[in-house]
Amino acid sequence: MRYRGSVLSNRRIAAYLQELAELVALEEGSAQAFRARAYEKAAGAVRDHPAAVAELPLADLQAIPGLGKATVTKMRQLIDTGSIDQLDRLRSLFPPDFIELTRIPGVGPKTALMLRDRLGVGNVDDLRAAIAAEQVRELPGMGARSEEKMSRGIERLGLHGKARRTPIIQALPVARECAAYLAGLDEVTEVQVCGSLRRFSDTIGDVDIVVSSELPAAVMAAVVAMPGAAEVIASGGTKTSVLTDRGLQVDVRVVAPAQFGAASVYFTGSKQHNIELRQRAMAAGLLLNEYGLEDVESGEVVAAATEEGVYQALGLAYVPPEIREGVGEVALAAEDRLPHLVGVDDIRGDLHVHSAWSGDGRSPLAEMIAAAADRGLEYVGITEHGEDLAINGLSRQQIAAERESLDELRLLHPDLTILHGAELNIAADGGVDYDDEVLSRFEWCVASVHSQFDLTQAQQTMRVIRAIENPWIDAIGHLTGRRIGKRPGIDLDFAAVFAAAADTGTALEINSHLDRLDVPAPALRQAMQVPGLRFTISTDSHHVREFGNIVWGVANARRGWVETDRVVNTLPKKAFLAWLKSRRSRS
């Protein structure tokens, strides 16, 4: 396949619109400004649109909900000229140094503008000086405590400002500890971790936890005294926010047990999902808030105790948390047409597994096989690294030796189908470790990128597509190679990659490691638009305890709207082997 350079991606365009939204909010002096919210909504619509909007005619663009004449004109200007006049004007009005001020907790658009107008504060250093001179406290609505709060905020800036997001692999253990602590309190009846963590976003702003209790004051006191809570940001009768010693903000909200479902819906979000639920409630003469769904006229509570009850009372199918992003799921739920998302119980095999034969493998092969059998898997692909990974890869002699030991292990686990495979290394030119003769003897081949992450998009795309077109390669492992919060993924033209994978019948792996979650969920949504494209969800286990990571891979797949029938390792053994055979014969 010939690779053609791509036009401006939806993501890039959405980023411009998002910036426009933020700057307009500043100009209007309010994040709630309707013009700002319109741009924000437009950014979301572009980001989540399945087709490349840069290639659509104007009329089609304007037909997308959330995009009107004015926004479409600006997008056209961006695509044609590479910039937007209005954005350029706003950028010069609000330089980055000034915007930095709004990252200080408690400083929003109004305050930032007042600081600039009244005190000439243009950046954080100016503000520090103004506080030192006790000038800020003279402003209307400000006082000594405001100065103190800003001062503390400046100290923390960079450590954990509003903009900083925490990778899920770091946030999840903190949330679990907090949840366990809260669940252990006598006053608490139920605990639910909500927010972006429950929606399985790959980075988290803060940890949101809802608890139910008849004694909110006691719970609030316990939260303030929670182990690891370094600083109390705010604490009222039903809501407390603390900063942990690791710099992660934890918000705990208490409601009565009868309100637990409504509160869980509300705090799980997303913001846009909530807005759509409320609009739907409003249209039915109902009011939805964190306390319940009630009839506006009679004041009668229609639903509140369970999430299922709230969705049902709104005339909606239950929406799984992973897809509550306000990107069309509410409309689908109203028509009972939500996708049939893959579930953990659907998984029947693991097709990316290492053992101590690999240099970075930790558990012996026999233990890995036994663990796979213990989990009730029907089939497993043992995929040691290929020889191009100097330290971790296997020589041809080692491959032969492992193949022999697998024969013995098969006798011990007759119910488990063991595929002797490999995780090949995709070189910069798209080639892999071995020649056809060696490759042909593997029963299952994953191929992945492990180095040279900074080639151009064209180079990366060609490299991966060449691997996809290699007839011996059954699946592409951790597609982008990203490490969340540490390393961005390689720059790929996803549309071209997905088309090639669908053409050749090569599966795309959804890697379960919390550090990777690769393919990323937004790309999965795009991939789901490509007919015939198949996935695997595998753990990439290097140790027996990592088989359990499959829950994360499945959660990420669900967030990407991946349906069960697209995932080949949900197939029963016989059907899976038939799929593999037909895949290899077609290549």
Partner DNA sequence: GCCGTTTTCGGCCCGACTGTTTTCAGTCG
End-to-end CA distance of the chain: give it in Å, rounded.
14
Shortest gap between Cβ of 564 and DNA (angstroms)?
A: 32
Peptide bond into 92 cis (omega under 30): no
Side-chain-side CA neighbours of residue 554 (13 Å) = 21
Q: Which is nearer to DNA, 231 or 360 (CB)?
A: 231
**Residues of the shown chain interacting with DNA in the complex, contacts defined by CB under 7 A:** 30-32, 34-35, 37-39, 41-42, 65-72, 86, 102, 105-112, 137, 141-146, 149, 162, 195, 205-206, 208, 234-239, 249, 251, 267, 271, 274-275, 278-279, 281-282, 287-291
Shortest gap between Cβ of 291 and DNA (angstroms)?
A: 7
310-319: which pairs have CB atoms within 8 A and are 24 or more residues apart? 310/261, 310/262, 310/265, 311/265, 313/286, 314/277, 314/280, 314/281, 314/284, 314/286, 314/288, 315/280, 315/284, 316/277, 316/280, 319/273
Q: Which is nearer to DNA, 115 or 492 (CB)?
A: 115
Shortest gap between Cβ of 575 and DNA (angstroms)?
A: 44
How many CB atoms neighbour CB 174 within 10 A? 18
Q: Which is nearer to DNA, 46 or 380 (CB)?
A: 46
Shortest gap between Cβ of 169 and DNA (angstroms)?
A: 21
Shortest gap between Cβ of 6 and DNA (angstroms)?
A: 25
d(CA 452, CA 462): 14
Shortest gap between Cβ of 323 and DNA (angstroms)?
A: 19
Beta-strand relationship, 349-353 and 379-385 = parallel
Q: Which is nearer to DNA, 179 or 580 (CB)?
A: 179
How many CB atoms neighbour CB 582 within 10 A? 11
Peptide bond into 519 cis (omega under 30): yes
Q: Which is nearer to DNA, 37 or 128 (CB)?
A: 37
Beta-strand relationship, 188-193 and 207-213 = antiparallel
Shortest gap between Cβ of 334 and DNA (angstroms)?
A: 14
Maximal C-alpha separation, the chain: 82
Q: Which is nearer to DNA, 112 or 479 (CB)?
A: 112
Shortest gap between Cβ of 529 and DNA (angstroms)?
A: 21
Kindly state the tokens that stand for 7.
């036009």
- By three-state DSSP, how is residue 298 classified? coil
Q: Which is nearer to DNA, 86 or 457 (CB)?
A: 86
Q: Which is nearer to DNA, 165 or 573 (CB)?
A: 165
Kindly state the tokens that stand for 487.
């390393």
**Which helix (H) or strand (E) covers residue 8, if one does?**
none
